[in-house]
Structure 1
Amino acid sequence: MMELKINRLTKQYKDKLAVDNVSLKLTPGIWGLLGANGAGKTTMMRMVAGILKPTSGGVFYDGLSIDDLGESYRDIFGYLPQTFGFYPEFTVKSYLEYMSALKGIGKKDASLTIERLLQMLALSDVKNKKIRRLSGGMQRRVGIAQALLNDPEILILDEPTSGLDPGERVRFRNILAEFAKERIVLISTHIVSDVENIATRNAVMKDGRIIAAGSTDALVDVMKGRVWRTEVSESDLFKCERLVRIANIRSESGGRASLRYLAENPVLPGSAPETPRLEDLYLWLFPEDSGTEEVR
């Protein structure tokens, strides 16, 4: 079984320790890398991609350093950065042809692969349009297509669904679930729903360190007995927000509101335990990044 090992990976800038002694062992399947913006996810991804040199530590594929593997590592690697560059005059198809040539894919194979990816990512109708004229969501889909061109064994995606609408997000998750069989896929995101239903394992990153890692079920279990629901008067919402960490507010009839909240004990009257989700763990670990959701 293939294995991507991140061993004591560290990146120190002059005034900041961006990645602090991170170790992970990735095996085939979808892995989620969760963390707030600024947690160090992108810096770590760039080192795994071989784009950024670590201050110390290393990345190993099947026991060999990716520095020693060099070109052979890039041949089996796909990467979608947070922002990808393209020449403004490129059409979708010409850009993918150009990227195929850079990746050393023969013209015949490239042509077949590009047509398949255009259909898979619903880009066939815009293949002759210039990328700069596409919406942000469509541009993101083009970026996803280029990451898949060489049918990589390892696929690294940094905030892949940024700019995608809900329907596109669902389509993309389905594509990834199918693609990940016998491949290693690592998705960096702060949008928990992107990985909650498709990732078999997750790592949570905060302040440059991995603070939790394991199967989705094991991480969710951490929140057992810490998720509650109750109903309160809407006039009491402000008081409730000062007492507990609210994950969700739903307006009910008669000036009432249903609250889903996180706490070690049932703080509010009438509270009943709720089944925890991965999103609850994220809000528990990143209270400053929670952004209470309100449903009307």
Structure 2
Amino acid sequence: MELKIEHLTKKYKDKTAADDVNLTITPGIWGLLGANGAGKTTLMRMIAGIMRPTSGCVKFDGVNIESLGGAYRDIFGYLPQEFGFYPEFTVQDYLEYVAALKGLTKKNTRDKIEELLTRLTLEDVRRKKIVKLSGGMKRRVGIAQALLNEPEVLILDEPTSGLDPGERVRFRNLLSEFAQNRIVLISTHIVPDVEYIAFRNAIMKDGGIVSEGTTEELVGIMEGKVWSTEMPQCDVHKAEQKAKVVNLRNISGSVVFVRYLSEEKIFPDSIEEQPRLEDLYLWLFPQEEAGKEGVR
């Protein structure tokens, strides 16, 4: 099984949202990382077949998805950033409606809905209208509809938006089980969502893929570029002007632990740290904010 993206480009009048993207996606969980505006959603919509590219194509097992038509939709699951539903739909109504659109039998619909409501802890709200649910619960309903037909190709755009930490862990575990012999592509800017479960990751910036590989391979790019030191809190502002500071933590009194990114040691007594995938993300997207624990 293979999903091949060949020279995929999407241009608007004054912007190129996806620029000659090439990527071969094989079974397993893949992460598509990038800052907001990097082009991830545009790429996802073209892979889903709901947006036509300006040029290039997407092939499933060697066949253009435009030629496959309904056969591709039968084996496809998709969670967009925002999914639509009629205001009067309850969770149960909506899932039954989507199951009918996907051609599931009544028995399969009943069994699959029960399974997903349980796995996603939605049993207690099955009769509630979706419009009245919290953001996290709505997101779980969206995840459920994407999984209804047990798709061979599952595309998830920012799937954990609105989920609390416990829900995100359960979701990652669910995906890890589901991804056996299936293609799962997760678009996100929340690095921990893919760092430990993704088979491979692609990093998108300015409409193109700038890096691709296993987590270990990508983390290796940051070897020798991650440092830590301790300094008085009053010196932090000056430190931030010299280096990309990615974490701060109060140690005691006015002393602060500082983790920073740099091609070389900048501050005295700095020690080299083991890099993480988040470090590469912040290296490539320096405008993004890292969590600065303990400092306000």
Classify the TM-score, shorter chain.
over 0.9
Cα deviation digits, residues 259-280 of structure 1 (max 9, x gap): 1110011101110010000000
Q: What residue in structure 2 maps to residue 37 of structure 1?
A: 36
Q: What residue in structure 2 maps to residue 16 of structure 1?
A: 15
Partners of 1:268 and 1:128 in 2: how far apart?
Answer: 59
2:7 and 2:57 in contact (8 A); partners too: yes
How many residues get paired?
295
Partners of 1:295 and 1:105 in 2: how far apart?
Answer: 51
SS in structure 2 of the partner of residue 155 of structure 1: strand
Cα deviation digits, residues 160-215 of structure 1 (max 9, x gap): 00011111111101111111111000000011011011111000001101011111
Aligned partner letter, 1:62: D
Shift of 1:254: 2.4
Q: What residue in structure 2 maps to residue 167 of structure 1?
A: 166
Q: What residue in structure 2 maps to residue 204 of structure 1?
A: 203
Partners of 1:212 and 1:161 in 2: how far apart?
Answer: 23
Partners of 2:94 and 2:131 in 1: how far apart?
Answer: 11
Alignment of 1:160-239 (within 5 A): 160-239=159-238
Partners of 2:164 and 2:291 in 1: how far apart?
Answer: 20
Structure 1: runs of 5+ lacking an equivalent:
none
Q: What residue in structure 1 maps to residue 121 of structure 2?
A: 122
Cα deviation digits, residues 88-111 of structure 1 (max 9, x gap): 111101100000001111111100
SS in structure 2 of the partner of residue 246 of structure 1: strand
Q: What residue in structure 1 maps to residue 253 of structure 2?
A: 254
Shift of 1:294: 2.5
Partners of 2:17 and 2:254 in 1: how far apart?
Answer: 47
Aligned partner letter, 1:40: G
Structure 2: runs of 5+ lacking an equivalent:
none
2:228 and 2:271 in contact (8 A); partners too: yes
Cα deviation digits, residues 118-174 of structure 1 (max 9, x gap): 000000111111111110000000000000000000000000000111111111011
Partners of 2:214 and 2:33 in 1: how far apart?
Answer: 13
Partners of 1:271 and 1:290 in 2: how far apart?
Answer: 22
Partners of 1:258 and 1:181 in 2: how far apart?
Answer: 41
Q: What residue in structure 2 maps to residue 60 of structure 1?
A: 59
SS in structure 2 of the partner of residue 293 of structure 1: coil
Q: What residue in structure 1 maps to residue 155 of structure 2?
A: 156
Alignment of 1:285-296 (within 5 A): 285-295=284-294
Shift of 1:291: 4.0
Shift of 1:293: 2.1
Shift of 1:292: 4.8
Cα deviation digits, residues 196-248 of structure 1 (max 9, x gap): 11111000001101011111100000000000111000011111111110110
1:227 and 1:275 in contact (8 A); partners too: yes
1:246 and 1:292 in contact (8 A); partners too: no
SS in structure 1 of the partner of residue 127 of structure 2: coil
1:268 matched to 2:262: no
Aligned partner letter, 1:229: S
Q: What residue in structure 2 maps to residue 278 of structure 1?
A: 277
Q: What residue in structure 1 maps to residue 70 of structure 2?
A: 71
Partners of 1:240 and 1:123 in 2: how far apart?
Answer: 47
Aligned partner letter, 1:158: D
SS in structure 2 of the partner of residue 86 of structure 1: coil
SS in structure 2 of the partner of residue 236 of structure 1: helix
2:18 and 2:39 in contact (8 A); partners too: yes
Aligned partner letter, 1:265: E
Partners of 1:261 and 1:168 in 2: how far apart?
Answer: 30
2:247 and 2:290 in contact (8 A); partners too: no
Aligned partner letter, 1:112: D
Q: TM-score, normalised by structure 1?
A: 0.98
SS in structure 1 of the partner of residue 252 of structure 2: coil
Shift of 1:12: 0.6
Aligned partner letter, 2:211: A
2:5 and 2:57 in contact (8 A); partners too: yes
